[in-house]
Amino acid sequence: MAQKKLSIRIDGQLISAEEGQTILQAAKANGKYIPTLCALDGLTPVGACRVCLVEVSGVDRLFPACTTPIQDGMSVTTNSPRLTRYRRISVELLLIERNHVCAVCVSNGHCELQSMATAFGINTVEFAYNYPKLSLDTSHPRFVLDHNRCILCTRCVRVCAELEGAHVWDLTSRGIHARIVSEMNEKWGQATSCTSCGKCVQACPTGALAEKGWAVEEMVKNLGTVTTLVHRRGVEV
C-alpha cells in the first residue's frame, strides 16, 4: 500500500515525505542533517540523547526528531542559536559525566561522541568533571566493556534485543548511577545468553564496547554491518 504523502518544511525547504515517518527519517531521506547519538537505523528510537531536538513552528516546546512523527504542514527548524547551545550542553554533560580520555581510547578518531564534540567546537568544558570511579568488564574472551566511556545511548541494549534476539544487555539503577549490565548483572563472560555476535560492539558509538587486541585509535566500528543486517532482515529503516 502506497504511503500517503505529506508536505513539510525543513529549515524552510519544502519537502515531500511519507506519513508515519519521523522528522529524522524525513530529513535523512531528503539529505538534511540532524545530529544524533542514540538513534541508529533499524532500532526502535528512544529519544534519550536529546541532541536531535528540533524546533517546530508555532510550538514552544522542542521535539526529538527521532521519535516525533511528521504532520502535514509542519515546519521544522533543525538549527538555531538555542538548539546549538543546548546540543553543546548535552555533549559537554556527556563529556564530564564519565572519564572520556581520548588519548588512551581505542576509538580515538573513530568515536561519535568525539566527532560531535569536534563538530560543535568543544575544546573545553564549562562544568567541572565528575571523575567517577568506574570499572571495566574484561571477562568476555573477545570483547571488553569500559563503563568510563559509556554514554548510556542503549544502542547495545536495543541491537541485542531487537536484532540478535538475545537481550543480553539492559540498564540497571537510576539517574546518575545508571549502568549498562549484561544479564542480571553477571560478568559479560559468564552471560550464557550472549552469542558473541559482536553487534553491540559495532553499534556502540564510543569506545565503551570494543574488541580486544586493539591499541589506541585502532578500533574502527563498522556500523554498516548492523544496518545491512537490518535491511537483510527486511526491517523497515
Partner 1 sequence: MPRIQDIGAFNTVREAGLAKLTPAVPRLTVGMGTCGRGNGAEGIYHAFSEGIERSGTDIVLAPVGCFGACFQEPLVSVRLPGKPLVILRKVQANDAGRILEDVVAGNLSPDLIYCKIEAWDHLTGHVRYGEGYPEVPAWNEVPFFKSQKKIVLRNCGIINPDDIEEYIAIGGYQALYKVLIDGRPETVIEQVKAAKLRGRGGAGYLTGNKWEFLAKAKAEPKYIICNADEGDPGAYMNRNEIESDPHSLIEGMIIGAYVMGAAEGIVYVRAEYPLAVHRLNRAIEQAREYGMLGENILGRGFKFDIALVEGAGAFVCGEETALIASLEGEAGRPRPRPPFPAQKGLWGKPTNINNVETWYNIAPIVMRGAAWFTETGSPKSSGTKVFSLVGKVKNTGLVEMPLGTSLKTFIYDIGEGATAGRQVKAVQTGGPSGGCIPHDMFDTPVDYENLAQLGSIMGSGGMVVMDEDNCMVDVARYFIEFTHSESCGKCIPCRVGLNKCLRILNRVTEGAGTTHHLELLDELSRYIRDCSLCGLGQTAPNPVLTTLRHFRNEFEDHILARRCTAGVCEELALSPCENSCPLHMNIPRFLQLYKEGRLEDAFLSVILDNPLPSSTGRVCQHPCDGRCRRQTLDQSVNMREVHRFIADSIFQSDKYEAMVQAVLARKLEPTGRKIAVVGAGPAGLTAAFYLALLGHDVTVYDSQSEAGGMLRFALPEYRLPKSILRREIELIERMGVRFTLNTRVGTDVPLNDLDDRFDSIFLSIGTWKESWVYQPGTELKGVYPALNFLEAVAAGQDVSIGRRVAIIGGGNAAIDSARTALRKGAEAIVFYRRERKDMPAIEEETNAAKEEGARFVFLAAPHRVMGDAKGCVRAIEIVKTRLGAYDASGRKKPISTDEIQRFDCDSVIFAVGETVDLDFARASGLSLKENGTIEVNRFTLETSRPKFYAGGDLVTGASNVSGAMGYGKQAARNIDRHLMEAERWARLFPDVEYGQTLPEEPSPSRRHTGQELAAAVRVLSQDEVVTGLSHEAAQDEACRCLRCDVKAVNVS
Indicate the residue among 54 and 145 with the shorter CB distance to partner 1.
54
Neighbours of 107 (CB within 10 A): 26
Give min distance, CB of 233 to partner 1, in A: 21
Indicate the residue among 105 and 181 with the shorter CB distance to partner 1.
181
Q: Is 18 in the site for partner 1 (CB under 8 A)?
A: no
Q: Which stretch binds partner 1 (CB under 8 A): 11-19, 176-184, 193-201, 206-214?
A: 176-184
C-alpha distance from residue 191 to each of 136, 158, 166, 183 (Å):
15, 17, 11, 6
Sequence-separated (6 or more) residues with CB below 8 Å from residue 62: 53, 54, 55, 83, 86
86 exposure class (CB count in 10 Å sphere: 0-12, 13-18, 19+): middle
Q: Is 190 in the site for partner 1 (CB under 8 A)?
A: no
Q: Is 14 in the site for partner 1 (CB under 8 A)?
A: no
Q: Is 76 in the site for partner 1 (CB under 8 A)?
A: no
Among 42, 64, 205, 207, binds partner 1 (CB under 8 A): 64
Among 165, 175, 224, 234, binds partner 1 (CB under 8 A): 175
Q: Is 203 in the site for partner 1 (CB under 8 A)?
A: no
Of the candidates 232, 11, 205, the one whose C-alpha atom is nearest the C-alpha of residue 113 is: 205
Q: Is 32 in the site for partner 1 (CB under 8 A)?
A: no
Q: CA 11, CA 30: separation in Å to the nearest integer? A: 12
Among 13, 84, 130, 135, binds partner 1 (CB under 8 A): 130
Q: Is 47 in the site for partner 1 (CB under 8 A)?
A: yes
Among 25, 36, 78, 90, binds partner 1 (CB under 8 A): 90
What's the DSSP call for residue 164? I
Indicate the residue among 7 and 127 with the shorter CB distance to partner 1.
127
Of the candidates 8, 24, 4, 28, the one whose C-alpha atom is nearest the C-alpha of residue 16 is: 8
Q: Which stretch binds partner 1 (CB under 8 A): 11-19, 83-91, 216-224, 226-234?
A: 83-91
**Which residues are 7's β-sheet partners?**
16
**Which residues are 107's β-sheet partners?**
none
Q: Which long-range contacts (CB under 8 A, 24 or more apart) does 53-56 make?
A: 53/83, 53/86, 53/87, 54/23, 54/78, 54/83, 55/80, 55/82, 55/83
Site of interaction with partner 1 (CB under 8 A):
45-50, 53, 61-62, 64, 67-69, 85-86, 89-90, 93-94, 96-97, 126-128, 130, 152, 170-171, 173-178
